[in-house]
Amino acid sequence: MAPLLHKPTFTEDQLQTVNNAVAMSEELVSNHYKMSASQWLRPKYDVKTLVELNANEIVEGPFAQVVRYVGKRQNSLLGSEAYDFYKICLQDHAILGALQQNDQLQLLPFVLYIVTHELVHIVRFSKFLQSFDASAEEKLTEEARVHRETQVIVGKVQLNGIQLVLDFYSTWQLPIENLQDPIP
């Protein structure tokens, strides 16, 4: 796993904070979409940090990514029993780098936003509101849409430092043409 070399990873204390953020995110997204516990278990997913990722799941830039796999029950021969399994791949090095560059950001509210954002993607994929295999342009539009939805969900939370995170992501509230990378 060479890509992990020289990349900072979460400490044990930070992992506990990440676990708390994940639990809060799950509850917020479940409540927002009015999903029961049984509905929430249907979109199968897991959240992993850098030390648990495969080399192809480690990226530079984003704070997290959702990777889709095909799941199947063990010993199942029927293709009809296959299901989408999503893996939220937290990029510790990118998250820690952002916290280091902006000392006003705090780990709990920052990861709360990141995981909530990724869970909104998973709900949208699972409800067929967005295709996982969309074009680059569609993905950019979807990214802005999911950021707006995340802002609504997380914006209701009374948590120290959450407004700084919302401000950090405020550029995603701009019209979509302002979000595209300039052509050199």
Asked, for residue 183, whether it belongs to a domain, the answer is: no
User: Angle 180-183-184 (CA atoms, 0-180°, nearest 5)?
Assistant: 140
Query: Are the beta carbons of 10 and 97 closer than 8 angstroms?
Result: no
Q: What is the pTM of this model?
A: 0.84
Q: Could you give the number of structural domains in the chain? A: 1
pLDDT by residue for the chain (184 residues), tens only, comes to 445 558 999 999 999 999 999 999 999 999 999 987 667 666 689 999 999 999 999 999 899 999 988 776 666 666 566 778 889 999 999 999 999 999 999 999 999 999 999 999 999 888 776 666 667 787 777 888 899 999 999 999 999 999 999 999 887 654 444 444 433 3
Asked, for residue 184, whether it belongs to a domain, the answer is: no
Question: What is the domain extent for residue 160?
Answer: 2-178
Asked, for residue 115, whether it belongs to a domain, the answer is: yes
Distance CA 46, CA 96 (A): 21
For residue 91, which of 66, 116, 124 has the smallest C-alpha distance? 66
Asked, for residue 46, whether it belongs to a domain, the answer is: yes
Asked, for residue 163, whether it belongs to a domain, the answer is: yes
